[in-house]
Amino acid sequence: MSVPNQPNKPPIGVDDDDAGIGVAVKSRQKTKKPAMYKVLLLNDDYTPMEFVIHVLEKYFDKQNDEAVRIMLHVHQKGVGMCGVYTYEVAETKVGQVMDMARQHQHPLQCTIEKDGDGDD
């Protein structure tokens, strides 16, 4: 059974205002930026400060002063950021840090978190 069109309304499926109709304008970049992920370091009571500084220099390409700054931030606040990378790179770095910590029997924890840039 068909539904009669209401008076003063366009037939179903026909739009009478311009919303969504017209020439499509490309406003997005053609090459989409990859999602990025933060690598976070967590504080604990046992991992030596020197070890954390070494990890930041070795796997996150930090100069000594920056590595010290990040380590102290994590020590005082509980968590801190080592860098922002694509998923694969972030996962690789977390693995490297966790392997190194395990080898030295330190409880250091490292994790990733999606970087919210409002683009997705």
Binding residues (CB under 6 A) for ligand TYC: these are: 41-45, 47-49, 52, 71, 74-75, 108
Least Cβ distance, residue 21 to ligand TYC (angstroms):
55
Least Cβ distance, residue 117 to ligand TYC (angstroms):
25
Measure the CA–CA gap between 53 and 97, rounded to whole angstroms: 12
Task: Rank residues 74 and 94 by Cβ distance to ligand TYC and give the closer one.
Answer: 74
Tokens of 16: 């009478």
Axis crossing angle, helix 49-60 with helix 64-77, rounded to the nearest 10: 130
Task: Rank residues 37 and 53 by Cβ distance to ligand TYC and give the closer one.
Answer: 53
Q: Nearest-CA neighbor of 83 among 108, 56, 104, 50?
A: 56
Least Cβ distance, residue 115 to ligand TYC (angstroms):
20
For residue 87, CA distances in Å to 20, 34, 56, 73, 98 come to 35, 9, 19, 24, 16
Least Cβ distance, residue 55 to ligand TYC (angstroms):
8
Task: Rank residues 39 and 52 by Cβ distance to ligand TYC and give the closer one.
Answer: 52
Task: Rank residues 18 and 45 by Cβ distance to ligand TYC and give the closer one.
Answer: 45
Measure the CA–CA gap between 101 and 108, rounded to whole angstroms: 6
